[in-house]
């Protein structure tokens, strides 16, 4: 028996960081995915290999782990399923996919959702989306300290959503004519989402009166962006991306590498560009009429440049006997 599972990556179109304090955000699943292939193993320890992280973890039948610390959060998945009454069995799991790690594209949530869904299926239970979200978010707490929940939501459910912390999400119905591709460029710098979230929260504590207005502006911006998506007005959408980037710069989560790529995208003809995710490195996104032409302009500044389709499906799992 072999279990195959996959989950999409994500980009936040509008609202990152502001969503942590309860403001709305718009996110979409992209067609770059994490894939998990899980096979039975004759005996313990179980083995987890991650090609994107070039890492390996061994887990014994008492859930003691040895190997890469970058995979240690997967032990939590076994603990949670064991607490729910599942009888654990040894396995070998291989993680692969197109998502670059630590780039703001939801790679950790995507790998967590894929792994949990594959492991649940292997143990004889087809997990529901609601439960998969809860378990994925528990693993995200280990990695990111105070996650908003938006990554766990979008990789599990897919599509395009309006999200507000503690209220959940509303799916946005984008028909084929309203779907578009994004140009995505990744910096060579890696960063910690948890550390950047903490940085912003401390900045807000120090300058509450000033930044309250920035957070208010971010909420109005999301509402305007929703109208642009409904109208399929990519020109307005691009302008709002540029404004959103200004707000993110104001709270200190941009970087010189990101600003170079964002500026180059704009002068090369893109309608709008901004960082996506935590910032401090990672990736930028852009809406362009001619994304393929702009790719070459960004290549000197980026580790990787690619085009991704939005509104991809969420976590999918299948069993091969």
Output the pTM of the full model: 0.89
Token pair in block for residue 9? 């990556």
Let me know: does 253 contact 183? Beta carbons within 8 Å: no
Task: Output the tens digit of pLDDT for each of the chain's 321 residues.
Answer: 899 999 999 999 999 999 989 999 999 999 999 999 999 999 999 999 999 999 999 999 999 999 999 999 999 999 999 998 889 999 999 999 999 888 889 999 999 999 999 999 999 998 999 999 999 999 999 987 777 788 999 999 999 999 998 888 898 987 655 678 899 999 988 777 778 888 999 999 999 999 999 999 999 999 999 999 988 899 999 999 999 999 999 999 999 999 999 999 999 999 999 999 888 888 999 999 888 889 989 989 898 999 999 999 999 999 887
What's residue 194's pLDDT? 78
Whole-number Å distance between alpha carbons of 8 and 111: 9
Give me the pLDDT at residue 149, please.
84
Q: How many helices (H) and strands (E) does the chain have?
A: 9, 13
- Angstrom distance (rounded) from CA 291 to CA 311: 18
pLDDT at residue 230, as a whole number: 87
Q: Catalytic residue positions?
A: 151
For residue 133, the number of C-alpha atoms closer than 13 Å in the C-beta half-sphere is 17
Query: Looking at residue 233, what is its pLDDT?
Result: 92
Contacting residues for 180 by C-beta, under 8 A, at least 6 apart = 234, 287, 310
Alpha-carbon gap, residue 281 to 294, rounded angstroms: 20
Report whether 106 contacts 151 (CB < 8 A). yes
Give me 128's structure tokens.
């529901």
pLDDT at 13: 96
What is the DSSP pairing of strand 91-97 with strand 46-50?
parallel
**Are residues 138 and 157 in contact, defined by beta-carbon separation less than 8 angstroms?**
no
Alpha-carbon distance of 181 to 237, in angstroms, equals: 13
Q: What is the pLDDT of residue 175?
A: 63
Q: What is the pLDDT of residue 270?
A: 95
Q: At what angle do helices 208-231 and 234-250 cross, to 10 degrees?
A: 160
Nearest to 270 by CA among 284, 294, 283, 288: 288
Rounded to whole angstroms, how far apart are CA atoms 287 and 272?
A: 6
Domains in the chain (CATH in brackets) are: 2-173+312-320 (3.30.230.10), 180-309 (3.30.70.890)
Nearest to 250 by CA among 211, 208, 295: 211
pLDDT of residue 176: 58
């Amino acid at each position: 028996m072999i279990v195959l599972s996959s989950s999409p990556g994500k980009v936040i179109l509008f609202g990152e960081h502001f969503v942590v304090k309860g403001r709305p955000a718009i996110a979409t699943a992209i067609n770059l995915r994490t894939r998990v292939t899980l096979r039975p193993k004759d005996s313990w320890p179980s083995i987890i290999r991650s090609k994107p992280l070039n890492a390996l973890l061994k887990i014994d039948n008492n859930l003691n782990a040895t190997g890469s610390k970058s995979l240690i959060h997967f032990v939590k998945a076994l603990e949670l399923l064991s607490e729910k009454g599942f009888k654990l069995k040894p396995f070998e799991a291989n993680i692969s996919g197109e998502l670059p790690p630590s780039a703001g594209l939801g790679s950790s949530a995507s790998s967590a959702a894929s792994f949990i869904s594959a492991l649940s299926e292997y143990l004889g239970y087809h997990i529901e989306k609601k439960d998969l979200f809860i378990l994925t978010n528990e693993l995200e707490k280990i990695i990111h300290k105070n996650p908003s929940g938006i990554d766990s939501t979008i990789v599990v459910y897919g599509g395009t959503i309006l999200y507000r912390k503690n209220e959940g999400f509303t799916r946005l119905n984008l028909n084929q004519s309203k779907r578009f591709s994004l140009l995505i460029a990744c910096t060579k710098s890696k960063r910690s989402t948890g550390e950047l979230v903490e940085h912003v929260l401390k900045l807000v504590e120090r300058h509450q009166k000033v930044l309250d207005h920035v957070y208010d502006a971010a909420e109005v911006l999301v509402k305007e962006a929703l109208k642009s998506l409904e109208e399929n007005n990519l020109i307005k959408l691009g302008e709002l991306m540029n404004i959103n980037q200004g707000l993110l710069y104001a709270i200190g989560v941009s970087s010189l590498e990101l600003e170079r790529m964002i500026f180059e995208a704009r002068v090369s003809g893109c309608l709008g560009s901004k960082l996506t995710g935590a910032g401090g490195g990672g990736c930028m996104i852009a809406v362009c009429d001619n994304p393929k032409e702009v790719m070459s302009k960004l290549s000197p500044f980026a580790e990787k440049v690619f085009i991704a389709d939005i509104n991809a499906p969420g976590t999918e799992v299948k069993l091969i006997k």
